[in-house]
Amino acid sequence: MGDEAAFVELVGRYGALMLQVARLYVPTRSVAEEVVQEAWLGVVKGIDRFEGRSSFKTWLLRILTNIAKTRGAREGRSVPFSALAQAELGAAEASVDPDSFIPRGERWASYWSSAPPRFDDLPEVRLMSAETVAVARDVIEALPEAQRTVITMRDMAGFAPEDVCEALDLSEGNQRVLLHRARSKVRRALEQHFEEADA
């Protein structure tokens, strides 16, 4: 890869994303920036060995997370990710408030007791407004760390489930439970946001 223009384009496309992922492993932004820099050099040096068996994005993530994990361990990350994930997975969590369903013992138990409030039918400009995106961002920031990490990688950065499992040493099932809990909380916050806005 001798082409500077190609390098600049790749950094432009993936730089911010890499920084975001690196931040998940190391304590400070400046260390994350060093990790990203080291990863890019790894990319430049290794591009001739990239055979296109995986997508470029997957390959990039592997290089990045290898460096970030090593660095995170050296910087003394207090709790390993697997322990955080286990702690969050330990307790049961309902995706929807259980009071939204008809109680046990009654006819139609566990079906909706009334139709859930709509927001999916809003005009696209309102649904996808900067204000709504800010609501989503705020909820994500406040999520327990393992859930925040998984939703960031899956839904913000757009990595495939298998890439996320590998990067975080998670089983496919646990990865999905964390993602589902995170998404469910964002959905609930959106529902509440639109209810309050329309009240």
Give the residues lining the site for other proteins (CB under 8 A).
Answer: 2, 4, 7-8, 11-12, 15-17, 19-20, 33, 36-37, 40-41, 44-45, 94-96, 98, 101, 109-112, 115-116, 118-120, 127-128, 132-133, 136-137, 140, 151, 155-158, 161, 172, 176, 179-180, 183-184, 186-187, 190-191
**Residue 72: CB minimum distance to other proteins, A:** 19
**In the complex, minimum distance from the CB of residue 34 to other proteins, in angstroms, rounded to a whole number:** 9
Smaller CB distance to other proteins: residue 74 or 118?
118
* Distance from C-alpha of 2 to C-alpha of 74, rounded to nearest angstrom: 32
Q: How far is the CB of 68 from other proteins (least distance, A)?
A: 15
